[in-house]
Amino acid sequence: MSPTPRRPLLHPWGPASTLGWHAGIFVLVVLFDQLTKYWARLAYSLPNGEPDYFLSTPVIGEWLQFRLVYNYGAAFGTRPQGILPFLHPTLFFFLFSLAAIALLSFYYNRLGPAEKTARLGVLFILAGAIGNLIDRMTLHKVTDFIDAGIPGFSPRWPVFNVADSSVFIGIVLLILPSFFGSPAPKPGSGGADAPQVP
């Protein structure tokens, strides 16, 4: 009587588990982004809701501090909505973000399970895009509060938020694999170019 074949064990980081893990990271990043923005608006705004530009909290001296700034444009203060002046800025950013999210979601699904770093990078970019999109849809502006720069050096780095940091981390994770190519198969390792033994 032949032994009953054993069912293969599922790897804990298999596709289903990875998807759940990624979903958890996505939710945490978006939630943390929204909570910190809400805190910044409460802590550093005037009674009329406008930023109190004289109020800031040093975290690491002048290297890093918290202060409230509203961004009505895109990253680094750019205003790409100017290329389509007939569209309301909120509608422009909504359509732009929707297209970017659709493309990133498609790219995430196209990446293979072995491309873990790249998939994680796309995930962080998606979370950041959603975080700032929520601001644009609810406030018609993006809440920035992290002010970093070199003391005595001008200009400082543009004020940013957790969502922007998430996008930056995602881009780094996408670029990182290009510096570490897959190792070439060793002779006799059974690769596609290995000589066949008769």
Residue 73 in this model has a pLDDT that exceeds 80: no
- Are 124 and 166 within 8 A, CB to CB? yes
The mean pLDDT of 114-133, rounded to a whole number, is 92
Most confident of 95-99, 110-114, 121-125: 121-125
147 a catalytic residue: no
144 a catalytic residue: yes
34-66 pLDDT per residue, tens:
999 999 999 999 999 899 989 999 999 989 999
Residues contacting residue 38 through CB under 8 Å, at least 6 positions apart: none
Instruction: Point out the catalytic residue in the list 33, 135, 147, 164.
Output: 164
The model carries a pTM of 0.75
Question: Which of 71-80, 132-141, 148-157, 188-197 is the least confident region?
Answer: 188-197
Q: Write out the two tokens for 183.
A: 């190792």
Instruction: Point out the catalytic residue in the list 135, 144, 147, 193.
Output: 144
What per-residue confidence (pLDDT) applies to 14? Answer: 46
Q: Tell me the residue type at 127.
A: A
State how far the Cα of 69 lies from the Cα of 67, in Å rounded to an integer.
7
What per-residue confidence (pLDDT) applies to 51? Answer: 94
Residue 19 in this model has a pLDDT that exceeds 50: yes
Residue 163 in this model has a pLDDT that exceeds 90: yes
Residue 15 in this model has a pLDDT that exceeds 70: no
What per-residue confidence (pLDDT) applies to 10? Answer: 40
Residue 4 in this model has a pLDDT that exceeds 80: no
Q: Which residue has the higher pLDDT, 101 or 64?
A: 64
Backbone angles phi, psi at 40, to 5 degrees: -65, -40
pLDDT-based confidence at residue 12 (cuts at 50, 70, 90): very low
Percentage of the chain exceeding pLDDT 90: 45
What per-residue confidence (pLDDT) applies to 98? Answer: 87
Q: Residue 65's beta-bridge partner residues? A: 58, 147
Q: Write out the two tokens for 137.
A: 């849809």
State how far the Cα of 173 lies from the Cα of 108, in Å rounded to an integer.
13
Residue 182 in this model has a pLDDT that exceeds 80: no
Domain residues of the chain, as ranges? 43-179
